[in-house]
Amino acid sequence: GVIKDYNEDKGVALVEQRNNFSRGDIMEFLSPSGETFVQEIKELYDERGEEVERAPHPQQLLIIPLLQRVEPYTIMRRARK
């Protein structure tokens, strides 16, 4: 997925989904400035703020609470094992 926006007050990112992912997945975040971090997706919401289990549709917009700030155009991908 690609981070479209980040709300610092709420600590949530707006993500445009590219590949299927679900709650519980471990994701890696790669920022344009080179910073990276890994986080488990514990909560996942659709555009209306309703909780969802997974993101099955390409280009679906989702809201994800994150433990740290991210910048727009950060790439979100499944972490490598």
- The one-digit pLDDT tens for each residue of the chain (81 residues) are 999 999 999 999 999 999 889 999 999 999 999 999 999 999 999 999 999 999 888 899 999 999 999 999 999 999 987
CATH architecture of 2-61+68-78: Beta Barrel (2.40)
pTM over 0.85: yes
Secondary structure (3-state) at 30: strand
The domain ranges of the chain are: 2-61+68-78
For 16: left if phi > 0, alpha if psi spans -120 to 50, otherwise beta; the answer is beta
